[in-house]
Amino acid sequence: MPTAKPKVVKGKEAKKLIQDYMVAQNRPFGAGIVQSNLKNAVGKTETVRILDELVEEGVLESKDYKKFRYYWANQRNIPEARDPSDIKKEIENAEFELKTLSNEAVTIQKKRDALQSALSDEDLEAKIAALEKENAELSTRLQEAKGSSESVSKDSVEKIDKALKSQVTAWRKRKRCAMDMVNEIAEGSGESVKTLFKTIELENDESNKVTLTEAIKATEPPPPPKKRFKS
């Protein structure tokens, strides 16, 4: 079976072939060796001409030794090998940054899910208003019971105290939950809490002239009478 003749290239294609070969090999060669290693794809005269042209362009360097001229890639054009430890450090930094971004994405997703599953502004406002009204009524009843001249059983007072404390605890918990949600929405929208209250027309304790502090005081026992000392 006859051997297929190698493809012969000329011009720019021949120049690129020789340049790529010399840079990739990065070692000295004579023109004859280059031609042979390229399987005579470029003629000998053309190979010498291209090698000398690449020397003039600074792509290659050359040196004559006795009757031969040797060519090799210009080392100033060869990028220095990077330190493996530097590459490893860059990979570690990239992995750390990826992990940090992933954690931030999970946190943002949780906040988003919490906001989506939370009560609407209208429902939240209605619950807060109802709770404030109930607490105010219990506080009034307790004060009336404590200040009444009628005989009130100890059990009745304790029941009212217990109910009021339970409502105050629920009030405090729900108020904290409501404010957490308001702060989350404010942070996400870029508005201040005060501006957000005005924007969505959300009422708070102060706007209804009811404070949690007053309800807490109502659950506290009256101070003991002051003792008088004889001079």
Per-residue tens of pLDDT for the chain, all 231 residues: 556 666 888 889 999 999 999 999 999 999 999 999 999 899 999 999 999 999 999 999 999 988 889 999 998 887 765 566 766 677 777 778 778 888 888 888 887 777 766 666 777 778 788 888 887 888 787 777 666 555 556 676 677 777 777 777 776 777 777 777 777 777 777 778 777 667 766 666 666 666 666 666 666 666 665 555 554
Does 139 map to a domain?
Answer: yes
Phi/psi of residue 138, nearest 5 degrees: -65, -40
For 157, residues 6+ apart whose C-beta sits below 8 A from its C-beta are 142, 145, 146
Domain check: are 72 and 142 in the same one? no
The last residue of a domain, from among 77, 97, 132: 77
Domain check: are 52 and 137 in the same one? no
Domain check: are 131 and 215 in the same one? yes
* Residue 27 tokens, joined: 């070692």
pTM for this entry? 0.37
- Give whole-number Cα distances, 102 to 33, 105, 203, in Å: 55, 5, 37
Query: Residue 71 pairs with which residues in a beta bridge?
Result: 29, 62
| Nearest Cα to Cα of residue 18 among 45, 50, 49 | 50
Its domain, for residue 73, covers 11-77
Q: What is the CATH number of the domain that holds 45?
A: 1.10.10.10
Query: Residue 73 pairs with which residues in a beta bridge?
Result: 60
Domain check: are 135 and 68 in the same one? no
Domain check: are 125 and 213 in the same one? yes
Does 23 map to a domain?
Answer: yes
* Residue 143 tokens, joined: 């004060």
Domain check: are 163 and 72 in the same one? no
Domain check: are 52 and 128 in the same one? no
How many domains does the chain divide into? 2
Domain check: are 123 and 209 in the same one? yes
SS3 content of the chain, % helix, strand, coil (to 5): 65, 5, 30
Does 178 map to a domain?
Answer: yes
Domain check: are 214 and 123 in the same one? yes
For residues 45 and 10, the answer to whether their CB atoms sit within 8 Å is no
Does 66 map to a domain?
Answer: yes
Per-residue burial over 173-185, b if 16 or more Cβ lie within 10 Å, else e, is: eebeebeebbeeb
Domain check: are 121 and 70 in the same one? no
